[in-house]
Amino acid sequence: MSVTRAEKPKKTGKNPVDYAKAPINADLTPEQKLGFLADMLRIRRFEQASLKLYQQGKMGGFLHLYIGQESVAVGTLALMGENDHAITAYRDHGHALVVGMSMNECMAELLGKATGCSKGKGGSMHFFAPDKNFWGGHGIVAGQTPLGLGIAFALKYKGLKGCCLTYLGDGAVNQGVFHESLNIAALWDVPVVYIIENNQYSMGTSLARSSAIKSCLAERATGYDMDWDIVNGENLYEVRAKTWDAMQRAHEKCRPAILEIDTYRYYGHSVADANAKKYRKPEEIEFYKQNHDPITLWENRLKEEGIADEAVIKKLDDAAKKEAAASVQFAEDSPFPELESVFDDIYYEVDMGTESGKTGRHFFND
Amino acid sequence: MPVITYRQALNDALAEELERDGNVFLMGEEVAEYNGAYKITEGLWKRFGDKRVIDTPISEAGFIGLGVGAAMMGLRPVMELMFWSFAYVAYDQIINNAGCVRYMSGGLINCPLVIRGPANGGTNVGATHSHTPENFLANTPGLKVVCPATPADAKGLMKAAIRDNDPVCVMENTLLYGDQGEVPEGDYVIPIGVADVKREGTDVSLIAHGRAVLTCLAAAHRLHEEFNISAEVVDLRSIRPLDEQTVLDSVRKTHRAVLVDENKPFCGVSSQIATMIQEHAFDDLDAPVQRVCSLDAPAIYSPALETQQLPTADRIIQKVLAIS
Ligand SMILES: Cc1ncc(C[n+]2csc(CCOP(=O)(O)OP(=O)(O)O)c2C)c(N)n1
Ligand SMILES: [Mg+2]
């Protein structure tokens, strides 16, 4: 059986650090803290609504749910300032919602509608919002890792103080291009922060069966003389504090880093994952739901702090459900794209009708 | 008009664009301090410095991906591949990321990236270093591919590629780097997607790109001298977008076409041209369209055979005579 967090020695040891007191957390207002809860609930309700559409046969393809991992996107992306950017893999709905994409455009994209964020041309794995510094949504495992490097390179080139949060999975760490990117990032001081969302599985392969490691994946950074840290993803304060440390080093010194954030996904790799219940025991999933659910834990924390009670939580949850239901309605009511739109958005010069877009034949249909 | 080498023409184009636009930078293996493996970037690091001309580790996937990310952010990276043959380790970055990101984002993103380097056989370096992947890359909607054959075209197309707002693959040729030719002075830009009739003729159209154009010109000369056949030579210059009109106009005039292609014959660029001619100019043809491609085997090392594997003037002449 794979190593679960319960069995893993906690790096925090006997005297756990109270990350609530970290500077980036100490000044949070109750509204901000409730905002994090609202965002986590929005992700979960969005994902549940999309799952339902899938089960009803209204969408096909791959649907990689983010349920169980919400604290990672919320804890990290909420730290983004004006010149911070983000890019991730195909499990991208949570990131999209946190950076400010609307449920409507995301749900419509899942159904392949013209009103979708990519006009139905990207689908579940390929959400983008460059106006919100969000660069996708990438379907090839680790294919986004050098793009994050390039985005961060561009920030430094332009003299902007920012970084690129570049997400990948625990399986993606074994792709060569990730290591090429790490080497270049450290060699040239590129302000990229790699965030490994370690949900312990890459499809049906457990971490133990996929990676040769000493203590953790992030430690591989030492081979590149790069900073690294391991983060307990269920603790929103810890996620924020450690991510902010890495972001600050990127901002101030252009130093890259790897953060490995421990998390867990409740559903199969994708909804089409026929083996969802075979490579891990149902008890394991139940254990995480009962003991490590990031939303429940944050709700409990807010209750302890006297910021929220059941009524407040219910109100936020109802709002999330309502928003998700409305997005389903919006998506279902939206039209499919027209066949002519197939040839839009391929070449910028053609789309813009520039001189360069008019010379020669660009498409070869007949 | 000054006569300069193909290499110098490329160097001038890069220097002028670096000068013109602060967002342009050059990156690749050995491009800076070493002055380029083939000396295309000679002197540019000294002149423009570390920020604009950058040596990379030997990590094609990593640095081409970096270029795609930087281009999405509005920079204009010009990435050198020491050989286009090495593109295969960066294929995912070129096809999936540079080629598809605009489409998958519904037009929210564009990628003004140039990838350049030599793509040719004939230099006695064996199969791994002799690939001509213009057909593979032109197969991806979203990418553009140009193959300059002369110093003037090298300069004009390189400048156009750097100014273009879509990803452009510029395929050069190590055998042409030393070739001399007239290159117009000043800001010389050739629009991408415009073919060039390199020699006018009335009896047969020889249609080619890259170095094969020069082979066609040699064949056309001999066809005239030895057989009194007037061959027209059409240089595609750009593979995608493709100047269909110039090709069809030529075929409609001569009624015969021989396509010459350093690609391998199976699904090569010439296959696309042949399809296009039969679709749009079938009734104008007096003979079947013929092709002269590289012989269909991995690039052989042995110099004696290598020159025969690539299209030769002799093979072109034989094909022309067979349909004349
Ligand atoms: C290059 C490539 N190989 C294989 C796949 C198929 N695939 C998609 S996701 C995945 C598992 C990746 O797991 P991980 O990186 O841990 O991310 P997670 O799904 O857990 O978020 C695989 C094998 C792919 N999309 N791209
Ligand atoms: Mg995983």
- Each residue's pLDDT expressed in tens, for chain B with a length of 324 residues: 999 999 999 999 999 999 999 999 999 999 999 999 999 999 999 999 999 999 999 999 999 999 999 999 999 999 999 999 999 999 999 999 999 999 999 999 999 999 999 999 999 999 999 999 999 999 999 999 999 999 999 999 999 999 999 999 999 999 999 999 999 999 999 999 999 999 999 999 999 999 999 999 999 999 999 999 999 999 999 999 999 999 999 999 999 999 999 999 999 999 999 999 999 999 999 999 999 999 999 999 999 999 999 999 999 999 999 999
Same domain? B256 vs B143: no
Cβ A268 under 6 angstroms from ligand 1: no
Is it the case that residue A283 has pLDDT exceeding 70? yes
Q: Report, as an integer, the average pLDDT of A288-294.
A: 97
Same domain? A232 vs A342: no
Same domain? B144 vs B209: no
Same domain? A256 vs A116: yes
State the first-to-last Cα distance of chain B, in angstroms, to the nearest integer. Answer: 38
Residue-range definition of the domain harbouring residue B126: 3-182
Closest CA to B298 of B290, B307, B306: B306
Same domain? A137 vs A179: yes
pLDDT digits (tens, 9 = 90+) for A38-67: 999 999 999 999 999 999 999 989 999 999
pLDDT range class, residue A8, cuts 50, 70, 90: very low
CB A86 within 8 A of CB A136: no
Residue-range definition of the domain harbouring residue A348: 336-366
Same domain? B48 vs B141: yes
Residue B188 lies in a domain: no
Residue A294 lies in a domain: yes
Residue A131 lies in a domain: yes
* pLDDT of res. B231: 98
Please state whether beta strands B180-182 and B3-5 pair in parallel, antiparallel, or not at all (unpaired).
antiparallel
Cβ A202 under 6 angstroms from ligand 1: yes
Q: How many domains does chain B have?
A: 2
Ligand 1, atom 19, lies closest to the CA of: A202
Q: How many domains does chain A have?
A: 2
Closest CA to B156 of B189, B197, B194: B189
B255 is catalytic: no
pLDDT digits (tens, 9 = 90+) for A313-326: 999 999 999 999 99
Side-chain-facing half-sphere of B37: CA atoms under 13 Å: 16
* pLDDT of res. A14: 59
Is it the case that residue A207 has pLDDT exceeding 90? yes
Closest CA to B310 of B234, B237, B218: B218
Q: How many residues does chain B have?
A: 324
Residue A335 DSSP code: P
CA of A24 to the centre of ligand 2 (A): 28
Same domain? B70 vs B163: yes
Q: Do A128 and B191 touch (CB under 8 A)?
A: no
For the CA of A175, the closest atom of ligand 1 is 1
Residue A261, Cβ density class (10 Å: 0-12 exposed, 13-18 middle, ≥19 buried): buried
ipTM: 0.96
**Catalytic one of B16, B60, B232, B262:** B60
Residue B221, Cβ density class (10 Å: 0-12 exposed, 13-18 middle, ≥19 buried): middle
Angle between helices A294-304 and A236-253 (to 10 degrees): 100
Q: Residues A135, A139, A141, A143: is their CA dihedral positive or negative?
A: negative
Q: Does A140 touch chain B (CB under 8 A)?
A: yes
Same domain? A198 vs A345: no
Query: What percentage of chain A carries pLDDT values higher than 90?
Result: 93
Nearest by CB: A151 against B69, B240, B243: B69
Specify which residues B115 forms β-bridges with. B79, B169
What CATH number is attached to the domain comprising A209? 3.40.50.970
* pLDDT of res. A276: 73
Selected residues 198-237 of chain B with any CB under 8 Å from a CB in chain A? none
pLDDT range class, residue A162, cuts 50, 70, 90: very high
What CATH number is attached to the domain comprising B155? 3.40.50.970
CB A313 within 8 A of CB A319: no
Please tell me the pTM assigned to this model. Answer: 0.96
Q: What is the number of CB-based contacts under 8 A between chain A and chain B?
A: 187
Q: Report, as an integer, the average pLDDT of A235-259.
A: 98
